[in-house]
Structure 1
């Protein structure tokens, strides 16, 4: 077989089996203070033409001195296009309840974020991520209804055309061990 024919055949085979998600093709924004535990879950994207205009959090309330705290367990993006809405969520921890959505004002959209993370304590009851702040296209800042342990880190870079997806880093339940649930977050910028 000639070299050109072999290369063409390889490209055709790869086109059928090596599809990339939309998240592989767009810029990613991250923060530097995410928690160290867990694994990155799958990315979830807003439908084409939608922008993330709001968010909600899954938070476990304070459990008290003798129980295991996990704090922030999940993040949902509320994507909009005109009056239409669509909710996207990457993997979430099992504890807590979802908050009501927090929205950017005046039909704005999310552009950047900062994560509140409790530093690792050994030994201790680690919670990792506790809360998140988002910056909107008009410059306003929204803070989620998470918990207050830890500190907010630096802001991520900004998505000039808005946020269109997310990916979470989640520690799986550890049985009798110390659970942290959500540790870190990545956001995907809109392409157009």
Structure 2
């Protein structure tokens, strides 16, 4: 349980998992799509396990994203920071009347989804992760935020938290853009455990 870090605490803080889809958008899983390259960064933490890879529907790529973030609290509360990443998939035409699909891999239990950030042109093509390194006996948060480069040249920064440091950029996509995601997420550690939620992420690229 996500709780107050103290041997004598009688309180536990239970986060509410929020998954709100905007009108006109749908969530779709597609695990059969072929990808041509895989993007990773070197600074992700290692608590948890990798989840199933999720793909945009065929013919679409990710042009936007939003984050599931637990806002930072102070004192002895257990912080988890970045809990999830959602990608928004559109076709090359980006017709304004087109239905947008959203995908996400496994997420943590805490926080709320932020506003969507869109590439002004093109698709997401590379990413950079902000990660807090292992804190020993202090509170660990692991991944805190993410940035993306768009194939049209724009830089998008997520509305995550500010603990840790930005690592190196991933390679850029071979192919048109990012089309899939898999996350490493640590499960709920119980009342006395130190929760970190999302630790690392890899992105798949498609033609």
Interval containing the TM-score (normalised by the shorter chain): 0.7 to 0.9
Matched, 1:54 2:69: no
Matched, 1:122 2:132: no
Q: TM-score, normalised by structure 1?
A: 0.85
Q: After superposition, what is the alpha-carbon deviation per residue over 1:136-175, rounded to whole angstroms, capped at 9, x for unaligned? A: 0122110000000000100000114100010000000101
Matched, 1:166 2:181: yes
2:126, 2:55 → 1: CA distance? 16
Gaps of 5+ in 1: 1-20
Matching residue of 2:193: 177
1:177, 1:45 → 2: CA distance? 32
Aligned residues: 170
Q: What SS does the corresponding residue of 1:22 show, helix, strand or coil?
A: coil
Q: What SS does the corresponding residue of 1:87 show, helix, strand or coil?
A: strand
1:75, 1:23 → 2: CA distance? 20
- Contact kept in structure 1, 2:35 and 2:204, CA below 8 Å: no
Matching residue of 1:31: 41
- Contact kept in structure 1, 2:148 and 2:155, CA below 8 Å: yes
1:138, 1:80 → 2: CA distance? 15
Q: Greater CA radius of gyration, 1 or 2?
A: 1
- Decide which structure has greater helix share: 1
Runs of 4+ in 1 over 2 A off after TM superposition: 21-26
Matched, 1:100 2:115: yes
1:127, 1:36 → 2: CA distance? 12
Gaps of 5+ in 2: 1-30
